[in-house]
Amino acid sequence: MSLVINNKYILLEKLGSGSFGAIFKGQNIRTKEYVAIKVEPIEHNLLLLKNESNMYQYLKDCKYIPNVKWYGKDGVNYYMVINLLGRSLQDFINIHKTFSLALTLKIGMRVLKIVEEIHNQGLVHRDIKPDNFLFGLNDANNLYLIDFGFCRSFIQNGEHVDMKPLNSIIGSNNYASINSHKKKGLSRRDDLESLVYMLLYFSKGRLPWFDHIVDAEIIELKTSILERRDDYPSVLLELLEYIKGLDYKETPNYSWLAETITKEIETISKKS
């Protein structure tokens, strides 16, 4: 017999898993609507799902964020029910291996807009990666950001919080900022650094540090990427250079980032 939670949702097939637990396709047994159900074992004592649920509720008016339909627990697990979405950017890169620079930049514009919106709400996501950007179900026109378990506010009493050291790296090795590898506190600049690594990956299909697990090696490779001008699209390195120059509390110039991407898209369009 399939598990029913809150006397309302039935768990169907498993869609994926991570350090938090697992995510399932589910269904509202009353309305027959399909949903996504994230499950986190209580015994893990992570409370990532509770934090994520709180962040979704806080961002409920943001059109790029799924809606939380229910959050609760039984004697074994915490549960969060959200909209069922479609394929991720990671799914598409798995199929196509690389994207053209024009497509990479168009995706970058959409992702930048979402990240800016999150930042405008006083939050840093801290886990920007292709797996966490999903298209709507049967809808390629809308892109959504998910997985807010590591998300934190950077504003306290109207002021930007001070930098505090991390106990461990936050986010994925492949896309985490250099500051994250160095166990430094993360701010808006770090979300944007992860964004550029994501775009570099889309344009190249692979990055030099993908097979490495030692922080020192990854830091060295991520630091040296700006020196390899002939290996990567110059526009992406220009974005990365600007982002790496930002101070911890500095407000990024999102307009400049968007204009730089737009100009390159226009240049490519004229050449084609």
Q: Summarize pLDDT for 199-228 with one digit per residue, the tens.
A: 999 999 999 999 999 999 999 999 999 988
Q: Are 154 and 188 in contact (CB under 8 A)?
A: yes
Same domain, 215 and 263: yes
What total of structural domains would you count in the chain? 2
> What token pair was written down for 80?
């969060």
Q: Domain boundary at 83, 109, 138, which?
A: 83
Interval 3-17: pLDDT, tens: 899 999 999 999 988
User: Among all chains, which residue has been given the structure tokens 């649920």?
Assistant: 53
pLDDT in tens, 119-146: 999 999 999 999 999 999 988 889 999 9
Question: pLDDT per residue over 3-52, tens digit each?
Answer: 899 999 999 999 988 767 899 999 999 999 999 999 999 998 888 899 99
Domain co-membership, 170 together with 38: no
Entry pTM: 0.94
CATH of the domain at 105: 1.10.510.10
User: Max alpha carbon distance in the chain (Å)?
Assistant: 61
First to last CA, the chain: 57
Query: Where does a domain end: 51, 83, 115?
Result: 83
pLDDT for 19 equals 63
Choosing from 27, 59, 83, the residue where a domain stops is: 83
Q: 168 φ, ψ to 5°? A: -160, 170
Report which of 249, 260, 255 is spatially closest to residue 124, judged by C-alpha positions: 249
**pLDDT over 70, % of the chain:** 99
Question: Which domain does 30 fall in, by range?
Answer: 4-83
Res 140: pLDDT: 81
Q: Which residues of 186-223 are buried (b: 16+ CB within 10 A; e: fewer)?
A: bbbbbbbbbbbbbbbbbbbeebbbeebeebeebbeebe
Do both 101 and 226 map to the same domain?
yes
Q: What is the CATH number of the domain that holds 54?
A: 3.30.200.20
Section 191-198 average pLDDT: 98
Catalytic center residues: 127
